[in-house]
């Protein structure tokens, strides 16, 4: 071990001790030892052991630890503290701008254990509510985390969207005489993307040469039929090559999962296809857009019903699930309503956080009354646009909602969500959620698993049982459209539709721009063949009003 490694070890030990709130005097002495060791003119490994403790800045106990490291190549005290620390917490030390003390608050008080969760909390405005975290820290944390995540390989669909557009333009300009087509996971509308894929009818040599003449791209790998480039955006670019003759066949191959391609006969290498449709026709398969090809049984569905009307963004008629500045949102209810009106929407369901969500300034009963008066006044002013009164009620540990019935009754509808104690066994999670579904006031089950894509696994649930319970209790399942959540996972939606359970595509937005997130919900809903009639937020105002009043009347 050289001095730098020894110094790094002490520095990490000292930070982890601070994170755990351990003896700060000791932690400080390790930090100053790290500082001193880095500046030493001689290597500790060349220093006689008995002389180490007399070096300035190094005491007897530190010297002992240095000797341990030199002899064993590791430090037991560090190993022990690392075992006690969630990996996400250790990883947070990579974020410039938040030191060990802040990480301690993030971990112990906010119950956040990963960088992704931390980013989400910042986006929800939650960080600045804690002592020592201002608006500036919050923004800084967002910037640093976004950069950090970008460099780690996988990305949210929404994060690469803009880069895709720019690359499309760059490639079309670079290869003006070729066919350049976006393909792969992005056009399949998958919720996370590892690489942006294009198909070009050009030779490997020409593509490679042209790309490398461009600043900002480096060749990462040469595959049998593709090249992978690293780029300054942090997202990998994969380019498949094809000839003019093989182009459309290659397009279908690169834009479809294997399970889908198995239905095709593409072995005839001589056969020419002039369009994508011709590739389908030749195998006697109805044309199916790339985004829908992941769904099992999709070909049979299209054979039975070729005119299937799949949901589009324009089919969303109102905003359901939205936070205002009454809890942790940034905008007033009126600003949110105006933004929704500007999009041509007919209604807005305000669902601020409930009282248990203290970190989000959840509403105490007196503030609910005040909010309802305010909404009444706004409705008089903004009609025919309508604001509905709702709440995102916390599902408590025992599955109950955090208000008594007489308060729950005062809402037009209730979204029930889990926000605390997310680490549960499946049994515990199921008992908790099923009880909430059985609560007669629950209209919608919010973000079913609590997952945050690329950063937090959801708690384990039995999707079928939950869907069955929603079917028996007439509860709608949210498809939370926040690009981090997309929860319920679209892969489970078919079963919900089979059971006649409605889906609600909801933005869960905390500011006006967040209303646009409904798009990401629609994109994954399409993958599950959701039609407008399956989606609660696609009901026109009158139908929606009727739906919730019927639903309310059924309670007693």
With respect to Zn ion, which residue has the nearer C-beta, 131 or 423? Answer: 423
Smallest distance, Å, CB 6 to Zn ion?
46
Smallest distance, Å, CB 85 to Zn ion?
27
Distance CA 115, CA 88 (A): 6
Smallest distance, Å, CB 444 to Zn ion?
11
Q: Are strands 155-156 and 192-193 parallel, antiparallel or unpaired?
A: antiparallel
Sign of the CA dihedral 535, 539, 544, 546? negative
Q: Which pair of structure tokens corresponds to residue 482? A: 């926040």
3-state secondary structure 442-478: CCEECCCCCCECCCECCCCCCHHHHHHHHHHHCCEEE
With respect to Zn ion, which residue has the nearer C-beta, 201 or 394? Answer: 394
With respect to Zn ion, which residue has the nearer C-beta, 371 or 417? Answer: 417
With respect to Zn ion, which residue has the nearer C-beta, 435 or 482? Answer: 482
Smallest distance, Å, CB 323 to Zn ion?
6
Q: Name residue 357's beta-bridge partners.
A: none
Q: Which residues make Cβ contacts (< 8 Å) with residue 29, sequence separation at least 6? A: 59, 62
With respect to Zn ion, which residue has the nearer C-beta, 392 or 412? Answer: 392
With respect to Zn ion, which residue has the nearer C-beta, 200 or 461? Answer: 461
Smallest distance, Å, CB 123 to Zn ion?
12
With respect to Zn ion, which residue has the nearer C-beta, 231 or 417? Answer: 417
Distance CA 286, CA 298 (A): 10
Smallest distance, Å, CB 222 to Zn ion?
45
With respect to Zn ion, which residue has the nearer C-beta, 145 or 445? Answer: 445
With respect to Zn ion, which residue has the nearer C-beta, 249 or 510? Answer: 510
**Nearest-CA neighbor of 431 among 453, 408, 463, 461?**
461
Smallest distance, Å, CB 419 to Zn ion?
6
Q: By the criterion CB under 5 A, which residues form the site for Zn ion?
A: 392, 417, 508
Smallest distance, Å, CB 485 to Zn ion?
9
What is residue 430's DSSP assignment? Answer: H
With respect to Zn ion, which residue has the nearer C-beta, 346 or 392? Answer: 392
| SS3 assignment, position 86 | coil
Q: Which residue has the tokens 């790339």?
A: 290
Write b or e for each residue in 448-484: b if 16 or more Cβ atoms lie within 10 A of its Cβ, otherwise e.
Answer: bbbbbbbbbebbebebeebbbbbbebbbbbbbbbbbb
Distance CA 493, CA 297 (A): 14
CA 444 from chain center: how many Å?
20
Smallest distance, Å, CB 77 to Zn ion?
40
With respect to Zn ion, which residue has the nearer C-beta, 81 or 360? Answer: 360
With respect to Zn ion, which residue has the nearer C-beta, 69 or 319? Answer: 319
User: Which runs of E-coded beta strand occur in 303-451?
Assistant: 318-320, 347-353, 386-394, 413-417, 444-445
CA 220 from chain center: how many Å?
27
The vertex-534 CA angle with 530 and 537, nearest 5°, equals 105
Distance CA 360, CA 325 (A): 10
Q: Tell me how crowded residue 52 is: count the other CB atoms within 10 A of its CB.
A: 18
Distance CA 354, CA 439 (A): 16
Smallest distance, Å, CB 422 to Zn ion?
11
Cα–Cα separations (whole angstroms), residue 76 to 8, 11, 23 = 15, 15, 17
| SS3 assignment, position 16 | helix
Smallest distance, Å, CB 27 to Zn ion?
36
Sign of the CA dihedral 26, 30, 35, 36? positive
Smallest distance, Å, CB 61 to Zn ion?
48
């Amino acid at each position: 071990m050289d001095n730098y490694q020894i110094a790094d070890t002490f520095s990490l030990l000292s930070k982890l001790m601070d994170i755990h709130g351990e003896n700060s005097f000791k932690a400080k002495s390790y930090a100053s030892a790290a500082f001193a060791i880095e500046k030493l003119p001689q290597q500790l490994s060349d220093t006689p052991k008995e002389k180490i403790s007399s070096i300035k800045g190094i005491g007897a106990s530190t010297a002992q630890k240095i000797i341990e490291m030199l002899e064993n190549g590791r430090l037991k005290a560090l190993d022990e503290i690392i075992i006690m620390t969630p990996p996400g917490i250790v990883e947070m030390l990579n974020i410039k701008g938040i030191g060990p003390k802040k990480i301690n608050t993030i971990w112990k008080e906010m119950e956040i254990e990963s960088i992704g969760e931390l980013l989400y909390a910042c986006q929800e405005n939650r960080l600045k509510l804690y002592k020592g975290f201002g608006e500036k820290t919050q923004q800084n944390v967002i910037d640093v985390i976004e950069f950090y995540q970008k460099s780690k390989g996988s990305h949210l669909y929404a994060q690469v969207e803009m880069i895709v557009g720019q690359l499309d333009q760059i490639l079309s300009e670079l290869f003006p005489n070729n066919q350049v087509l976006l393909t792969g996971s992005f056009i399949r509308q998958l919720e996370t993307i590892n690489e942006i894929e294009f198909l070009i009818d050009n030779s490997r040599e020409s593509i490679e040469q042209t790309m490398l003449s461009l600043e900002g791209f480096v060749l990462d790998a040469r595959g049998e039929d593709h090249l992978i480039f690293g780029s300054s955006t942090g997202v990998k670019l994969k380019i498949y090559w094809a000839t003019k003759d093989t182009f459309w066949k290659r397009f279908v191959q690169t834009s479809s999962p294997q399970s889908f391609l198995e239905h095709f006969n593409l072995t005839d290498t001589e056969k020419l296809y002039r369009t994508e449709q011709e590739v389908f026709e030749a195998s006697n398969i109805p044309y199916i857009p790339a985004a829908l090809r992941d769904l099992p049984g999709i070909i049979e569905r299209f054979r039975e019903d070729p005119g299937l009307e799949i949901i589009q963004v324009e089919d969303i008629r109102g905003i359901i699930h939205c936070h205002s500045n009454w809890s942790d949102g940034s905008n007033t209810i009126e600003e949110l309503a105006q933004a929704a009106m500007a999009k041509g929407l007919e209604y807005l369901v305000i669902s601020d956080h409930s009282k248990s969500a203290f970190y989000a300034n959840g509403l105490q009963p007196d503030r609910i009354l005040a909010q309802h008066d305010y909404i009444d006044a706004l409705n008089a002013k903004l009609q025919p646009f309508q604001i509905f009164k709702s709440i995102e009620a916390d599902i408590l540990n025992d599955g109950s909602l955090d208000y008594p019935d007489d308060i729950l009754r005062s809402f037009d509808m209730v979204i029930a969500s889990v926000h605390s104690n997310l680490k549960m066994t499946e049994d515990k999670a199921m008992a908790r959620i099923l009880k909430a579904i059985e609560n007669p006031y629950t209209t919608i089950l919010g973000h079913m698993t609590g997952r945050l894509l690329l950063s937090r696994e959801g708690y384990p649930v039995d999707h079928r049982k939950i869907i069955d319970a929603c079917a028996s209790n007439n509860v709608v399942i949210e498809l939370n459209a926040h690009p981090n959540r997309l929860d319920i996972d679209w892969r489970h939606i078919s079963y919900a539709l089979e059971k006649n359970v409605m889906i609600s595509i909801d933005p869960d937005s905390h500011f006006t721009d967040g209303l646009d997130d409904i798009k990401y919900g629609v994109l994954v809903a399409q993958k599950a063949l959701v039609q407008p009639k399956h989606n609660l937020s696609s009901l026109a105002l009158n139908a929606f009003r009727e739906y919730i009043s019927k639903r309310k009347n059924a309670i007693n």
